[in-house]
């Protein structure tokens, strides 16, 4: 496949910001690319005529992340825990398309998330640590589930220092509370409300147990409202 065709087609779409912690907006379209996901920095497209490729198109103020991610993928090498990086263009990164469904969509659709998936994320993090990286920004949209196994998708923050504790809280939440919602399809607005609460509360003084208690109160009120409908 020649990259100039991809570059020409991707110029028909624009990825714009909606805020630092909000998902980007995609404007325009191309009949040769299908948008398969959006994040806070970029949107991902699948090339119709070469479906094993995925093109991660960055918003204009995040183009510096392209070279950072390329370096991360170089350090990771070939691993079953992460996609493969093939190259880049002016505003996009070319990686392998990975089959599966994000844990975010699993919650939306009530699809069971097995314990093996949680262990796979742990193994992937240990693998990245051993490669001299700092795996972070691991959240529901960055974990892909396929045939009961998990793979990590976004490595853009693996060169940063510090621990954002996202995976720590997700793992604790899964262990302590997932059985209460396992197999239940959660409304989109509930998941988004929880995500925004976490982003607002995120600080050195963040207390996980207090956050969970607030969520419990929230869900109790939600159940009461449903009983009146």
Cβ neighbours of residue 23 under 8 Å, at least 6 residues apart? 38, 39, 40
Give the position of tokens 């089959």.
99
137 catalytic? Reply is yes
Query: Of 98, 100, 120, 96, whose CA–CA distance to 109 is shortest?
Result: 100
Active-site annotation holder among 22, 137, 154, 164: 137
- What are the backbone dihedrals phi and psi of residue 53, each rounded to the nearest 5 degrees, phi first? -105, 145
Q: Judging by DSSP bridges, how do beta strands 92-96 and 143-146 pair with one another?
A: unpaired
Burial of 205 (0-12, 13-18, 19+ CB in 10 A): exposed
Cite the active site residues: 137
């Amino acid at each position: 496949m020649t990259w100039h065709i991809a570059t020409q087609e991707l110029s028909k779409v624009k990825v714009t910001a909606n805020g630092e912690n909000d998902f980007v907006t995609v404007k325009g379209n191309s009949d040769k690319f299908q948008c398969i996901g959006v994040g806070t920095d970029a949107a991902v497209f699948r090339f119709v005529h070469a479906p094993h490729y995925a093109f991660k198109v960055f918003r204009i103020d995040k183009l510096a992340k392209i070279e950072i991610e390329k370096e991360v993928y170089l350090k990771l090498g070939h691993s079953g825990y992460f996609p493969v990086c093939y190259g880049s263009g002016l505003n996009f990164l070319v990686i392998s398309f990975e089959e599966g469904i994000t844990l975010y969509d699993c919650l939306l659709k009530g699809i069971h998330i097995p314990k093996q998936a949680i262990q796979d994320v742990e193994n992937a993090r240990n693998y990245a640590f051993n490669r001299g990286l700092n795996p972070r920004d691991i959240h529901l949209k960055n974990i892909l589930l396929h045939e009961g196994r998990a793979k990590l998708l976004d490595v853009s923050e693996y060169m940063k220092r510090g621990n954002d504790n996202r995976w720590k809280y997700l793992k604790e939440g899964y262990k302590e509370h997932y059985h209460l919602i396992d197999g239940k399809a959660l409304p989109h607005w509930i998941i988004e409300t929880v995500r925004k609460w976490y982003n607002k509360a995120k600080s050195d003084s963040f207390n996980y147990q207090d956050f969970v208690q607030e969520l419990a109160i929230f869900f109790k009120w939600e159940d009461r409202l449903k009983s009146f409908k």
